[in-house]
Structure 1
């Protein structure tokens, strides 16, 4: 199986700058003026320019205000504090404080396009600390 991650955005240049500066991704291929492939994660991330108000799924329309979805992505980092500072400087919004658990540390973020993200820093054996 090959996984691609597609993220709808309303401003492709702003999204490219955000994902470069926040997560260290780099632009690779461009697909006309409507999409750019960002590399540096385990799966390619395609930023897709889709206007606000355009058809999304079913009767829904795209809205780039903060929204909730049962799907979000986690970015595993070595240094949560440094990664959080980088993401905030790039335009992310923290949604709560850094929390600690037996497996590590986590903070929830929203990107400038309303999508939810988490930064994770594993400690000890990571999720194996709580695996049964």
Structure 2
């Protein structure tokens, strides 16, 4: 099985700049007129240009205001404060204070396209610290 991560965005070039600057990804292949592969994570991130108001999943029009979805992207980082500064400089907005848990620390952000992102710095034990 191969996992593909596709992310709808209204502006392909702005999204590419945002994610390459925020997360250290780099451009891969151009996929037709409206797609771009970003590399550098465990799986490729495919940006798909879709205009606001076009019909998306469930027949709903796309809306790039901040929205809630049960599927979101977590980025595991070595230095959370540095990663936060980099993401904010690239245009993401911090939504919460850093929260700490036995498995590590987490901060939540939103990108310019309404998508939620979490930055996570794991402890040495990571999720093993809470496995039951």
Same fold by TM-score, threshold 0.5 exceeded? yes
How far is 1:59 from its partner?
2.7
Say how many residue pairs are matched. 132
Q: Which residue of 2 aligns with 1:129?
A: 129
Question: Where does the alignment leave 5 or more consecutive residues of structure 1 unmatched?
Answer: none
Report the counterpart of residue 67 of structure 2 in structure 1. Answer: 67
Q: Which structure 2 residues correspond to residues 1-132 of structure 1 after superposition, within 5 A?
A: 1-132=1-132
Deviates more, 1:122-131 or 1:84-93: 122-131
Question: TM-score with structure 2 length normalisation?
Answer: 0.98
The CA RMSD measured in Å over matched residues stands at 0.7
CA deviation after TM superposition for structure 1 residue 34, in Å = 0.4
In the alignment, the residues of structure 1 paired with residue 45 and residue 5 of structure 2 have an alpha-carbon distance, to the nearest angstrom, of 5
- Shift in Å at residue 31 of structure 1? 1.4
Gaps of 5+ in 2: none
Deviation at 1:57, TM superposition (A): 1.4
Q: Distance in 1 between matches of 2:31 and 2:103?
A: 39
Q: Distance in 1 between matches of 2:108 and 2:85?
A: 13
Deviations 1:59-98 (A, max 9, x none): 3100000000011111000000000000000000111100
